[in-house]
Every structure is written in structure tokens, then in C-alpha cells.
Amino acid sequence: MSSSSAVSLYLDPQIRDWVLFPITLVMILVGVLRHYVVVLLQAIPKKQSRAAIREQRALTRCQILRATSANSPIPPSFYKTISQNLSEALKAGTYLKDGPPKADTPSTAPNPLSDPAAMDGMMAGMKTQMVMMVPQMVIMGWINFFFQGFVLIKLPFPLTLGFKSMLQRGIETPDMDVRWVSSLSWYFLNFFGLNGLYRLILGGDNSADSSRDMTVSPFASMGTAQPGQPQDFTKLYKAERDNLEFAEGLYNWVGQDIDTKVLRKYGKLLPISKQ
């Protein structure tokens, strides 16, 4: 039954010229335009003060120290000094941007809404969201208004019935072959599928692809630790101190038994297995 209906359907070539191609073209152009608008809207990254950088990078110091601790290039006395100094500094909060915390003020998580820097970050996110949402809504309205229920194209390969809701959105025909694609579905296919084309036109780091933004809301980033988002460094430092202590337990100097190692290497001492 479905095969007979496939034969019986004949699409006006004018649909191809005046609906199929325009929709695709408009979507590509809007994507390119959006890329340039986002580039224009992007605020220059704010310069951080010396103290803020120091606060952020204190953790890196600990990580660098810990990274080699199992085979550390530096001798024990040096390692212990660095490790303990860092640990004490983290405990006292020397690295905090606003200096060591006062004893009487209760430590509260920073409120992202009260910090102007964080607000800026959120506003920038919202702006890009708007640039993405508005044109997509306009295009979808345009398609819905003018081309509702249009069948635009026939896919050159057979598909199972499961694809019906994906390819024939907006047409309520239970018997039509799944290979026919409706206008609204064509819009969605373009919406999710044009990223590869944008990457060719605009390069890998483009902001034309709007389907990517659909998955993130402007507020989703608040919970996760993102650069530019407020972080509670007091807590991070506390965790890092535990890590430092742990690494100190693992510590081993690479030069501890280097003399026997080198002697074995040159055959002056017998290898371990033969001793």
C-alpha cells in the first residue's frame, strides 16, 4: 500500500525551487550571520587582578608538586619544606584574594547574583542565547505559517516506520511512505545537521551552530565550576590540603637509590634478580 502511494505522489518542481532551497539557504545564512553577531557581541575578556590570578593558581602549585611526588625530582628536605609551606599557606588563607579570612565572619558561599563579575558572565551567556533563539523562532514561525503541511523531498533510501514522527512532523497521514519529508522536519534536519557545513565555512571554532546551545541553558553553568564563575576557594583549598598530605605519604625521591641503579645499569653491581 505504501509503495503505491509513493508512486502516486508527484512533487511540483516549484516546491523544490521556492520552498526546499530557500529554507536551506536561509538557515545557512542565518547561521553565518549569527556567528558574526556573536563575535561582535563577545565582550573582551576582563583583565584579572594580580591577587585573583594568584588565588586561582595556588592550586596549580600544589598540583605540580603532587604530580611527581611518587618519583619526585627533588630531595626529601626540599619536598617537605615546599609541601608544608603550601599546606600552611592554604590553611591560613594567604592565597585568598581578599587576604586571610577573619575569625568571626561566618564563611558563606559567594552569591553569584551579588558578584558583578559573575553577573557579567551570565549576561554574556544570555546574550548569545538570545541571538540564537530569536532567529530560530522566526524561521520556525515562517515555515509554519507559509509552508505548513508541505511535503518537500523524498529520501532516496527506504526507512522503517519508526522514522515517521521524525520525518513527517506537521502532516497527519498514517499511510504515507516514510521517505517523504515534511517542511517542518526538513527544518529540524537542517537545524541539527548543518554544523558540519558551518565548520567548513567558518572554521572549527564557530558559534553558528544553534543546536549545541539548545542543550545548555544560561543557568546550567552556575552549578559547575567554570572559569569566570565564582568558586569557593576556601573549600577547594581545604580539599587540596588533604591531597597534599596524601601525596607526601606517597613521596619518593628519584635519587634515593640512584647510585645502585646507575651501577647496575653499567654492570658494576649485579642485577637484582641474580643477587
Question: What count of other Cβ atoms lies within 10 Å of the Cβ of residue 275?
Answer: 7
When the beta carbons of 85 and 165 are compared against another protein, the nearer one is 85
CB of 77 to another protein, least distance (A): 4
When the beta carbons of 33 and 70 are compared against another protein, the nearer one is 70
CB of 225 to another protein, least distance (A): 20
DSSP bridge pairs for 242:
none
CB of 131 to another protein, least distance (A): 26
CB of 9 to another protein, least distance (A): 52
When the beta carbons of 68 and 195 are compared against another protein, the nearer one is 68
Coil, strand or helix: which one is 72?
Answer: strand
When the beta carbons of 36 and 192 are compared against another protein, the nearer one is 36
Using an 8 Å Cβ cutoff, are 240 and 59 in contact?
Answer: yes
Residues that bind another protein (CB under 8 A): 47-50, 52-54, 57, 60-61, 64-65, 68, 72-78, 81-82, 254-256, 258-263, 265-269
When the beta carbons of 60 and 273 are compared against another protein, the nearer one is 60
When the beta carbons of 103 and 272 are compared against another protein, the nearer one is 272
CB of 199 to another protein, least distance (A): 20
CB of 244 to another protein, least distance (A): 13
Question: For residues 184 and 174, what is the distance between their CA atoms, to the nearest angstrom?
Answer: 17
Runs of H (alpha helix) within 74-168? 76-92, 116-146, 164-167
Question: For residues 168 and 149, what is the distance between their CA atoms, to the nearest angstrom?
Answer: 9
Question: For residues 8 and 247, what is the distance between their CA atoms, to the nearest angstrom?
Answer: 74
Question: For residues 248 and 259, what is the distance between their CA atoms, to the nearest angstrom?
Answer: 23
- Helix (H), strand (E) at residue 151: strand 151-154
Using an 8 Å Cβ cutoff, are 139 and 30 in contact?
Answer: yes
Query: Measured between alpha carbons, how far apart are the two ends of the chain, in Å?
Result: 85
When the beta carbons of 102 and 268 are compared against another protein, the nearer one is 268
Q: How many CA atoms lie within 13 A of 193 on its CB side?
A: 7
CB of 83 to another protein, least distance (A): 11
Question: For residues 113 and 258, what is the distance between their CA atoms, to the nearest angstrom?
Answer: 56
